[in-house]
Amino acid sequence: MSDLIILTGIRGHGHHGVFPEERRDGQEFIVDVNVYLQSSAAATTDALVDTVNYATVAQVVHGLIIGDPVDLLETLAERIATSILKLGGVTKVDVTVHKPQAPIPVPVADVALRITRP
């Protein structure tokens, strides 16, 4: 049985992308994460140390959004998933990276990539 912490809309100004103007100017990236864990111990003890601290998850994600630039959403999503999986108690993670201002020559509301890692 897995429980789930859901964080949506973690925002940051990153410089990810393959085009020079994306690297130079940057743009907003938005990340949603589903963090799978077993939370029954925390429910019993009512102690933060017995669960995954969602504030820590948000800080990790934000740091990677605004951190070292990468070319692809796939790389950013993988870095986020790998970092979250290193937190104690995480058994699986879903990461969705949104790039709403992606340089596409037709109108789109959003571009997003979702990955799941055990």
Query: Which residues carry out catalysis?
Result: 99
Angle, vertex CA 55, rays to CA 85 and CA 89, nearest 5: 35
Amino acid letter at 67? G
Element spanning 54, H or E: helix 54-66
